[in-house]
Amino acid sequence: MMAAGRLSFRNITALAPMVRVGTLPMRLLALDYGADVVYCEELIDIKMAQCHRVVNDVLETVDFVAPDDRVMFRTCEREKDRVIFQMGTADPDRALVVARLVEKDVAAIDVNMGCPKEYSTKGGMGAALLSDPDKIEAILKKLVAGVSIPVTCKIRILPTVEETVSLVRRIEKTGVTAVAVHGRLKEERPRHPVHCDYIQAVAQAVSIPVIANGGSLDLVKTNADIEEFRKATGASSVMLARAAMWNASVFSNQGPLPVERVMEEYLKYAIQYDNNAFNTKYCLCQMLRDKVESPLGKQLQAAQTSAEICKAYGMQELFQQTQERLQARRDTLQSSTEPDRPVVDGDVTTMAVKFERREYPPRVTPKMFLLEWSRKEKLEQPLYETVQRSQDRAFQSIVTVAQKRYRSSLWEKSKKFAEQAAAVVCLRVLGVPEGRIGEEDSGLVCKRKREGKMNGTTEEEGNIKRHIAAIQQETDKSEAAAVVSGDHHRPDTPPEQP
């Protein structure tokens, strides 16, 4: 399948590009079951061009992340030689920018020329390109000349066989490696029969591999049908969308497997790669098909988070274990790479600090210490602001004290922990006790003072034990105090147990 490191499209079976379906978990599952290549969902060039490439060491993936922190495309080493990046574009220059952005992480670049949906066609993308062959040529030529990996495109058929053949001949001349032909007109719906004769005429007319597509509904139901479809179209290769979406084990010559098993395997990948919960839900609903109104289907439809989806499948334990494993890896990576000395940038001081609950006595937290200290100093109460990033839903807080802001560079699994970590940074930088067990013995505070990090505070030296006792006493008095929540709020009043 690979010739001199380049992907060949002869005699292969492919997972078709599918919006919402073709994310990493489905692609890996299709590969597991025997697909040779897997297309990602169509990604629009304008959005992709704004993304930056992030190596995600926690998930062991490469992520292309939008300015709003959304992961637009996630891929991993396992699929690197098999994944085709499909883009929606109507602009050769922008197409090249995107292709170059992902070039090192994917096996080929594909341009969608078949999507009949308005959101695609109104921007001149998708099936709109079929009536603008000059634009097709410009985009494909630019890509072929500009990247070192194969370039392909996916089209729908035109009203006549002659027009279709003539378009594909023109496409072939641009230097693309293969062309996928969905055997339907752009006005035809997925339920309409596929025109195998058009695909056959194209396959005979060009020498690049033709990938036949459109056979899922009535022609390809089992693995053996894939070869029948290939023969019926005379194409080199076959691409499956719906048949794979309903049961990805269609790629397996040992299959088909019961869809319950396939859903479970899919969900494992979805957890492992932190797939968007709505995406996961959509895919599982597609797999359930007419069972979507079953008790399981109803529970799935009601689920709003990955945890709830896993619960519907009785897989909450695996979900929990995976979260813990990922958090442990995040902690290890963070603590080995981040400096634990304060770094000042403008009015923000950052330090790599992790909040460890077990390091503090019961009912004692750094936030309480910071609040007490602020009161004593007659300062305004510390103000906490928290953000959550979408790539792993981790939290980071920033605390403002005396017009200065403090945060930990390490992201935490909960908002409460993130606030505690910010409080620890503030206390450490100010050289104020934070209530940690053994702190009084470590000479930490005195050492900080010696290092001149006191920042002009008046916290008295020494007896931290007495300080803790006083705070605990205070805590006991105000046992009923409310715990405030929200993304922008004043600190918890003791007691607090994160």
Active site residues: 115
Q: Which residues 33-72 are close enough to bind ligand FMN by CB under 6 A? A: 41-42
CB of 247 to ligand FMN, least distance (A): 12
Question: Of 42 and 372, which CB lies nearer to ligand FMN in the complex structure?
Answer: 42
Q: Give the shortest CB-213-to-ligand FMN separation in angstroms.
A: 5
Stretch that binds ligand FMN, among 11-19, 67-75, 142-150, 246-254 (CB under 6 A): 11-19
Binding window for ligand FMN (CB under 6 A); candidates: 3-11, 74-82, 211-219, 485-493: 211-219
Q: How far apart are CA 495 and CA 498, in angstroms?
A: 10
> Shortest distance, CB of residue 198 to ligand FMN, whole angstroms?
14
* The only residue of 7, 17, 102, 277 in contact with ligand FMN, by rule CB under 6 A: 17
- Asked if 27 is part of the footprint of ligand FMN (rule: CB under 6 A), the reply reads no
Regarding 216 and contact with ligand FMN (CB under 6 A), the answer is yes
- Backbone dihedral angles phi then psi of residue 208, each to the nearest 5 degrees: -75, 155
Q: Is 223 helix (H, G, I), strand (E, B) or coil?
A: helix
Separation of alpha carbons 142 and 92, rounded Å = 6
R_g (Cα) of the chain, nearest Å: 29
Torsion from C-alpha of 191, 286, 155, 87, nearest 10 degrees: 160
Sign of the Cα torsion 439, 443, 448, 452 reads positive
175-204 mask for ligand FMN (x: CB under 6 A)? -------x-------x--------------
Residue 216 CA to residue 115 CA, distance in Å, equals 17
Residues 146-165 that bind ligand FMN (CB under 6 A): 154
Residue (92 or 114) nearer to ligand FMN, CB: 114
Binding pattern for the stretch 223-262 against ligand FMN, x by CB under 6 A and - elsewhere:
-----------------xxxx-------------------
Name the one residue in this structure whose structure tokens are 């190596």.
55
* CA gap 436, 364 in Å, rounded: 8
Q: Which stretch binds ligand FMN (CB under 6 A): 10-18, 161-169, 229-237, 440-448?
A: 10-18
Considering only 12-20, 137-145, 333-341, 449-457, which stretch makes contact with ligand FMN by CB under 6 A? 12-20
Write out the E strands in 346-394. 348-351, 383-388
Kindly tell me the burial class for residue 75, based on how many C-beta atoms sit within 10 Å of its own C-beta (0-12, 13-18, 19 or more): buried
Total of residues contacting ligand FMN (CB under 6 A): 23
DSSP secondary structure of 285-338: HHHHGGGGGSHHHHHHHH--SHHHHHHHTT-HHHHHHHHHHHHHHHHHHHHHHS
Q: How far is CA 255 from CA 11, 38, 223, 310, in A?
A: 20, 19, 7, 25
Contacts of 314 (CB under 8 A, 6+ apart): none
Q: How many other CB atoms are there within 10 angstroms of residue 36's CB atom?
A: 19
Interface region with ligand FMN, contact rule CB under 6 A, candidates 210-218, 271-279, 307-315, 454-462: 210-218
Shortest distance (Å) from residue 34 CB to ligand FMN: 16
- Whole-angstrom Cα distance, residue 300 to residue 292? 8
Query: Judging by beta carbons within 10 Å of its beta carbon (0-12, 13-18, 19+), is residue 347 exposed, middle or buried?
Result: exposed
Asked if 279 and 51 count as a contact pair (C-beta separation under 8 A), the reply is no
Is residue 18 near ligand FMN by the rule CB under 6 A? yes
Q: Select from 12, 14, 19, 147 the one that contacts ligand FMN (CB under 6 A).
A: 19
CB of 114 to ligand FMN, least distance (A): 5
Q: Does 25 engage in binding with ligand FMN (CB under 6 A)?
A: no
Specify the residue, 19 or 368, whose C-beta has the smaller distance to ligand FMN. Answer: 19
Residue 361 engages ligand FMN in binding (rule: CB under 6 A): no
Nearest approach, Cβ of residue 42 and ligand FMN (Å): 3
Sites for ligand FMN among residues 80-119 (CB under 6 A) = 86, 112, 114-115
21 binds ligand FMN (CB under 6 A): yes
d(CA 442, CA 425): 17
Least distance (Å) from ligand FMN to the CB of residue 189? 10
| Packing angle of the helix pair 415-430, 366-376 (nearest 10 deg) | 50
CB of 37 to ligand FMN, least distance (A): 13
Query: Closest CB to ligand FMN among 88 and 382?
Result: 88
* Cβ closest to ligand FMN, residue 192 vs residue 477: 192
Residues 80/85/91/94 CA torsion (nearest 10 deg): -40
Q: Which stretch binds ligand FMN (CB under 6 A): 14-22, 328-336, 404-412, 451-459?
A: 14-22
The residues of the shown chain that bind ligand FMN, judged by CB under 6 A, are 16-19, 21, 41-42, 86, 112, 114-115, 154, 182, 190, 213-217, 240-243
